[in-house]
Amino acid sequence: MRLPGRIAAAIEILDDIQARHRPVSEALRDWGLSHRFAGAGDRAAIGNLVYDALRRKLSLGWRMGVESSWGLAVGAAVLEWGEEPAALNAAFAEDRHGPAAISEETILRLGEDTLAEAPDHVRADVPEWCVANLRDVFGDSWVEEAAALGGRPPLDIRVNTLKGGRAKAVSQLARLGVEPTPLSPVGLRIPPAEAGRRHPNVQVEEAFQRGRIEIQDEGSQLCALLVGAEPGEQVLDFCAGAGGKTLALAAAMGNRGQIFAYDSDRSRLAPIYDRLKRADVRNVQVRSPAPDALEDIVERMDRVLVDAPCSGSGTWRRRPDAKWKLTADSLARRLEEQDTVLRDASRFVRPGGLLAYATCSLFAAEDGERVEAFLMAHPDFEPASMAEAWAKALPGVAAPAFPGGNLLLSPHRSGTDGFFLALLRRKV
């Protein structure tokens, strides 16, 4: 397929997402199944166009003067990929599968800096109702912080230290362009993919198949390290899901001690068994949801990690469709879930033990406000020092600022996904 056909396919997929309110990954998969003539390169380019269009949906629509699927796909080609409008029009005219041409009026508009006149939420590429949530966290820099959530993400990898060090993994994956992550001592990074290309499929690599590496954002790697789990300790991963942080904790503990991996949703836990086997993790006990699944470990855990369900606003680079589906009502439901899960998880922390509360959100309502509400309702807990945890887990790595005593990461300030972590100690 030539570029006009790829843009036309992106328009078709964007129309499908809009009409059927379906996830972008599902729409792309179904389009590929019904257009088997499209090669891997075609599918990669079309997918990138769709994702770029959704990441910059408001600013592209503003600059193009139209928010239709045509405007978003063509706008992404011009403004994100650097295609010249006149050259695109010539290509469209020569390709019977090409989309409608770009009007002279739109070409003139694209030559002007109209985005400078746009409302803040358009320049930030976020729903207008989210502005207060972001301003509460970032103050006057919220537009820059939010706009960074519209960029292309890197592909981050965690080295499984149970099976070797980072230097060996770098050597094995050198042809993929990996480089050490700036903060995590066990991380590798493949930079954001160029327009029209996708990241390499790391899961087919021998290093992945043999459990030497896992795909995991650097922010999540830092979270697991800052929990501070040590060999021989008793640890509960209360919202373990597919087990990404469980595996990272096991590596930090050198397979010594005991980790209990639990999730209230059995289906989310399903992938963990194969992942544990591949990574050669032997100190994890998976607990499936049941009324008494964890009653034998109440007040026995040295550390409890709560990676709470959240809006996912910190992951909008990777899941841009979620940005436009999120509503104030769904956020309110998440806040209730977070209060419940934090309260329930606290039962398992021993006196003197640590409770770690994490989200992949950049909203104060889901982060610091939930911690404050928990501390008010549970006077037997108090904040633990994030600065001390950082110095112990990441010696020699420059510490960021810790707003409110907590860790807050974002694409703009740390190059990671958006991530929040608070550490709380149960009083003796």
- Residue 30, domain member (yes or no): yes
In a shared domain, residues 90 and 231: no
In a shared domain, residues 87 and 227: no
Q: Which of 76-80, 114-118, 272-276 has the lowest mean pLDDT?
A: 114-118
Given 118, 150, 172, which residue is the final one in a domain?
Answer: 118
Given 90, 118, 146, which residue is the final one in a domain?
Answer: 118
- Residue 156, domain member (yes or no): no
In a shared domain, residues 375 and 248: yes
Quick one: DSSP state of residue 254? T
In a shared domain, residues 227 and 370: yes
Q: Does 307 count as an annotated binding residue?
A: yes
Cα→Cα distances 378→30, 307, 381, 425, Å: 48, 19, 6, 11
pTM of the model: 0.94
Given 53, 86, 118, which residue is the final one in a domain?
Answer: 118
- Residue 127, domain member (yes or no): no
- Residue 224, domain member (yes or no): yes
Bridging pattern class, strands 284-287 and 258-262 = parallel
pLDDT of residue 49: 96
In a shared domain, residues 284 and 422: yes
Whether residue 99 has pLDDT greater than 80? yes
- Residue 167, domain member (yes or no): no
Distance of alpha carbon 307 from alpha carbon 240, whole angstroms: 7
CA angle 398, 250, 175 (to 5 degrees): 65
322: which 2 tokens? 């979620």
Q: What is the pLDDT of residues 81-97, one digit of tens each?
A: 999 999 999 999 999 88
- Residue 318, domain member (yes or no): yes
| Residue 341 lies in domain | 218-426
For residue 379, give the CATH number of its domain. Answer: 3.40.50.150
Q: What is the pLDDT of residues 251-305, one digit of tens each?
A: 999 999 999 999 999 999 999 999 999 999 999 999 999 989 999 999 999 999 9
Give DSSP secondary structure letters for 172-205.
HTGGGT-EE-SS-TTEEEEPPPPTT-----GGGS
- Residue 138, domain member (yes or no): no
pLDDT of residue 123: 96
Indicate the number of domains in the chain: 2
Q: Which of 130, 223, 310, 360 is catalytic?
A: 360
- Residue 348, domain member (yes or no): yes
Annotation marks residue 239 as catalytic: no
